Amino acid sequence: MIINHTSPNPINQIDRLQAPFFGSLFFSSNVYQMSQCDVTVYSIEVDDNFVTPFDLEPTEEEIQDVIERFEHLDLDEELVFEQITEEEPEFIDGELSWFIQGLQGRIARRMGFLGCESIDEQGTVYIIDMTNRVELLKGSK
């Protein structure tokens, strides 16, 4: 299967510290654009090596990281776990939602999967932690 990521800017490196997804990119089996500008389409050929949010196993450390980063939201462990493992979690805060989606990609990678298969406003998406994997991207205009 070939999945695609579109970007208005060339991707030369992936920064684990860059918000909002902290190293994760979103891919789809369809090519789509979120803006009216020219984009580069990046493709990856993948096997079916994805986990769903329901099957993610966040660690205590990962859950605590979310609670600490978003302490102003007064989150608890149970709510954070639910946010990570729900396909369409309750909307609490935009930045939290983006961080959780990026975290889903990182947890999937830690668990031995290429990424996390989820759903967003575009339909099925594949969230892949691309930190130190930029060489997998094959781009074209």
| 3-class DSSP string for 53-82 | HHHCCCCHHHHHHHHHHCHHHCCCHHHHHH
| pTM score | 0.87
Q: Is 61 left (phi over 0), alpha (psi -120 to 50) or beta?
A: alpha
Q: Are 84 and 74 in contact (CB under 8 A)?
A: no
pLDDT at 84: 96
HSE value, Cβ hemisphere, 13 Å, CA-based, for 84: 26
Look at residue 103 in the predicted model and tell me its pLDDT. Answer: 95
Per-residue pLDDT tens over the stretch 82-110: 999 987 778 889 899 989 999 999 999 99
Mean pLDDT of 112-128: 90
Q: Which of 113, 132, 116 is nearest to 27 (CA)?
A: 116
